């Protein structure tokens, strides 16, 4: 069959409140054109993030009722630990309330002034935690990973030559080598198994622990199955196990590829490191058998992990992005290719040639998309990255608009609606104007700044 259907039925629904274009125009004005300030009831399709926004299954809701809320030694922890270890065979599995809590614990131990952390691309909370410890974070993704139109199958790969010379240059100041799969900040692009193994080998040769940021491990494994030679006939679970087999630890946000609305973990093999991590965990998160989560959350994660590696789900998941991208391209809209695992990216700078980068083309597209169809997307460009620590403003490397796709939440008709809204936008391109920022905080301005149309 050519039609790839959603491999689930719907048992429980959340109504979407329809709004009119006039209402949305007024709402935009009321939030100073910052989409983060919208109430979610005023959004028809919310593509702000895929983090914690997925739909849980009937089995996950059932597991939630089994949650045992004992402070210590809960069977829910045992089920969580077994489910993680089934895929990622680490010795020590430490639950946290989110991925960034796992990072904060890890870098409170490994970080510090003078330390250096390489990765393909650090996610922003990872970078934040590294830098907050006084250490420095460096991104060593392959050159193809920075070119929106390049069709390389594994644009998240680490540049191995750069890693080798980085480790020679920085020597003992590198506490571990990191790798993000898929490469979230680089557009959800995958890392090949060959590259993962090569990074592990280089790290080992230099005596450095190798830690994977595994937030989208299942999407990454599906790309490996589809694109890497010799992997096509293998089970997703087996590919996942191979991805983590040579690693010394991982950080994870269960809000991504564990189908949960909250949660995360830090996993380690080194017992001394794990002991330090647990001591820190007790200070900041909670006792090691719940670590900032309720027993029911641990159950939802355990069950979610058994569902996320389902190939029918992953086929539908990845195909959704490709489906949207193919149709946007047919409308002449520049997109980042190939489709990533969790989101579709529009190249707004290439599309809106008459809006200069410092007039925020990504913001112009994101606001227009909301006005036309009530779709909430996210600017990833000059609004987010343009303000420099010295106060100057410069254009970001790219001006993208991200449509992050929540897991199991929307259907093909929602995808068709998104495409139709883009068609409407494309037909009225000449009306699009840029924006001016009228008010901004000192840091992370994109969350709260105010805009005014030019």
Binding residues for ligand PLP, per CB under 6 A? 51, 98-100, 123, 125-126, 180, 184, 213, 215, 253, 255-256, 264
The nearest distance, CB 262 to ligand PLP, in angstroms, is 8
The nearest distance, CB 27 to ligand PLP, in angstroms, is 27
The nearest distance, CB 205 to ligand PLP, in angstroms, is 26
Q: Which one, 256 or 296, has the nearer CB to ligand PLP? A: 256
CA-CA distance, 291 to 377, in Å (whole number)?
Answer: 32
CA-CA distance, 377 to 391, in Å (whole number)?
Answer: 27
CA-CA distance, 375 to 417, in Å (whole number)?
Answer: 10
Q: Which one, 140 or 437, has the nearer CB to ligand PLP? A: 140
Burial class of residue 313 (count of CB atoms within 10 Å of its CB; 0-12, 13-18, 19+): buried
- Nearest CA-CA partner of 116 in 167, 43, 76: 167
- Give 341's DSSP letter: S
Q: Which one, 74 or 126, has the nearer CB to ligand PLP? A: 126
- Nearest CA-CA partner of 186 in 51, 341, 328, 388: 341
Q: Which residues pair with 436 in a beta bridge?
A: 452
Q: Which one, 98 or 373, has the nearer CB to ligand PLP? A: 98
Write out the E strands in 322-432: 343-347, 375-376, 378-380, 400-404
The nearest distance, CB 325 to ligand PLP, in angstroms, is 20
Q: Which one, 51 or 231, has the nearer CB to ligand PLP? A: 51
Q: Which one, 163 or 254, has the nearer CB to ligand PLP? A: 254
DSSP codes joined into one string, 211-264: EEE-TTHHHHHHHHHHHSTT-TTS-HHHHHHHHHHT-SEEEEETTTTT--SS-E
The nearest distance, CB 400 to ligand PLP, in angstroms, is 16
The nearest distance, CB 399 to ligand PLP, in angstroms, is 21
The nearest distance, CB 52 to ligand PLP, in angstroms, is 7
Q: Which one, 145 or 373, has the nearer CB to ligand PLP? A: 145
The nearest distance, CB 166 to ligand PLP, in angstroms, is 20
Burial class of residue 427 (count of CB atoms within 10 Å of its CB; 0-12, 13-18, 19+): exposed
Residues comprising the chain, all counted: 454
- Residue reference for tokens 């680089």: 186
Write out the E strands in 155-242: 177-180, 210-213
Q: Which one, 49 or 270, has the nearer CB to ligand PLP? A: 49
The nearest distance, CB 100 to ligand PLP, in angstroms, is 3
* 3-state secondary structure at position 75: helix
CA-CA distance, 416 to 18, in Å (whole number)?
Answer: 17
Q: Which one, 221 or 352, has the nearer CB to ligand PLP? A: 221
Q: Which helix (H) or strand (E) holds 436?
A: strand 435-439
Write out the E strands in 176-276: 177-180, 210-213, 249-253, 264-268
Phi and psi at 130, nearest 5°, equal: -65, -50
- Using Cβ positions, the residue closest to ligand PLP within the complex turns out to be 99
The nearest distance, CB 121 to ligand PLP, in angstroms, is 9
Helices 311-330 and 295-308: crossing angle in degrees, nearest 10, is 70
Q: Which one, 99 or 288, has the nearer CB to ligand PLP? A: 99
Q: Please, are residues 425 and 372 in contact by the beta-carbon 8 Å criterion?
A: yes
Q: Please, are residues 377 and 359 in contact by the beta-carbon 8 Å criterion?
A: no
The nearest distance, CB 183 to ligand PLP, in angstroms, is 8
Q: Which one, 103 or 299, has the nearer CB to ligand PLP? A: 103
């Amino acid at each position: 069959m050519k039609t790839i259907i959603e491999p689930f039925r719907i048992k429980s629904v959340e109504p979407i409140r329809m709004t009119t274009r006039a209402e949305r125009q007024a709402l935009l004005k009321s939030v100073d054109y910052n989409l983060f300030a919208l109430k979610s009831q005023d959004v028809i399709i919310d593509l702000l993030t895929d983090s914690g926004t997925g739909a849980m299954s009937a089995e996950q809701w059932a597991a939630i009722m089994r949650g045992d809320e004992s402070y210590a030694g809960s069977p829910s922890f045992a089920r969580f630990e077994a489910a993680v270890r089934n895929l990622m065979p680490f010795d020590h599995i430490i639950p946290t309330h989110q991925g960034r809590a796992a990072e904060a614990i890890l870098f409170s131990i490994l970080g510090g002034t003078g330390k250096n952390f390489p990765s393909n691309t650090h996610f922003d909370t990872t970078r934040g935690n590294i830098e907050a410890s006084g250490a420095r974070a460096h991104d060593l993704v392959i050159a193809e990973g920075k070119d929106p139109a390049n069709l390389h199958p594994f644009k998240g790969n680490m540049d191995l030559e750069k890693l080798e010379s980085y480790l020679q240059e920085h020597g003992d100041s590198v506490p571990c080598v990191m790798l993000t799969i898929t490469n979230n900040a680089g557009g959800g692009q995958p890392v090949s198994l060959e590259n993962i193994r090569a990074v592990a080998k280089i790290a080992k040769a230099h005596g450095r622990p190798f830690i994977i940021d595994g937030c989208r491990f299942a999407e990454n494994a599906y790309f490996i199955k589809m694109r890497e030679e010799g992997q096509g006939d293998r089970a997703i679970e087996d590919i996942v196990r191979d991805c983590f087999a040579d690693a010394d630890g991982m950080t994870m946000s269960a809000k991504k590829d564990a189908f949960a609305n909250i949660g995360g973990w830090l996993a380690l093999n080194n017992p001394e490191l794990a002991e330090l991590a647990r001591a820190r965990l007790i200070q900041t998160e909670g006792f090691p058998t719940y670590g900032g989560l309720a027993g029911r959350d641990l159950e939802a994660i355990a069950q979610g992990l058994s569902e996320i590696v389902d190939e029918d789900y992953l086929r539908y998941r990845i195909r959704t992005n490709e489906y949207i991208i193919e149709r946007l391209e047919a409308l002449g809209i520049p997109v980042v290719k190939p489709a990533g695992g969790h989101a579709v990216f529009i190249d707004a700078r290439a599309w809106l040639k008459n809006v200069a980068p410092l007039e925020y083309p990504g913001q112009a597209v994101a606001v227009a998309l909301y006005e036309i169809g009530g779709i909430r997307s996210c600017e990833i460009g000059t609004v987010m990255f343009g303000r420099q620590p010295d106060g100057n403003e410069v254009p970001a490397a790219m001006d993208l608009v991200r449509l992050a796709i929540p897991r199991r939440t929307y259907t093909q008709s929602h995808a068709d609606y998104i495409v139709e809204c883009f068609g409407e936008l494309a037909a009225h391109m000449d009306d699009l104007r840029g924006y001016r920022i009228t008010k901004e905080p000192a840091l992370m301005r994109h969350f709260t700044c105010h805009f005014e149309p030019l």
